[in-house]
Structures are given as structure tokens and as C-alpha cells.
Amino acid sequence: MTWLDPRIISAIRRRMCGIREWMAEEAPYVSVDQRHLDGHAPERAYWHYGYQAALSDVLAMIEGRTNQGRYTRQRDMPS
């Protein structure tokens, strides 16, 4: 396995925590509904879009590229 900078791992954990907190406040039903599993549901497309965006974000962090995401409110890692 490739070694990852602990700052990257911390940044990923912070983002995960922030998303969990947001979901708990704004959409607590998502963990029960699981509508992304329904074939041809709009939620399924949004789930795949979000997953692809998350993978792109993680890859950018590993490669050392600056995150230009519109949802990032603060920097996760020092320059």
C-alpha cells in the first residue's frame, strides 16, 4: 500500500465528519430511506454523481492538487 501523508488522512476524516454532521441536521432520513438503491430514481443518479465527485476530491488531495470544489468552506490542509 502506498504511504499517505497523515494530513491528507486527517483532511478526509474532517470532510467525512462534516458531511455526517450536515446530514444529521439537514437530512436525517437518508440513512433510512436509501432511495439511491431504487433503479432509475433521481437519487440514484445523484448518489453516483456524489460518489464520483468524492473520488475525484480524494485523488486530487493525494496528488497534491488544490481543491476547487464549490462546497469547501475552509482549507483542509496547510500549503
Half-sphere exposure of 13 (CA within 13 A, CB side): 6
Cα–Cα distance measured from residue 40 to residue 74, given in angstroms and rounded to the nearest whole number? 35
Residue pLDDT, tens place only, 29-44: 988 898 888 889 999 9
Cα–Cα distance measured from residue 44 to residue 1, given in angstroms and rounded to the nearest whole number? 31
Full-prediction pTM beyond 0.75? no
Cα–Cα distance measured from residue 44 to residue 15, given in angstroms and rounded to the nearest whole number? 22
The yes-or-no verdict on residue 73 having pLDDT over 70 is no
Helices 6-26, 42-63: axis angle to 10 degrees equals: 160
Phi, psi of 38 (to 5 degrees): -75, 125
Q: What is the pLDDT of residue 72?
A: 47
**Residue 15 banded pLDDT, cuts 50, 70, 90:** very high
Q: What is the pLDDT of residue 52?
A: 96
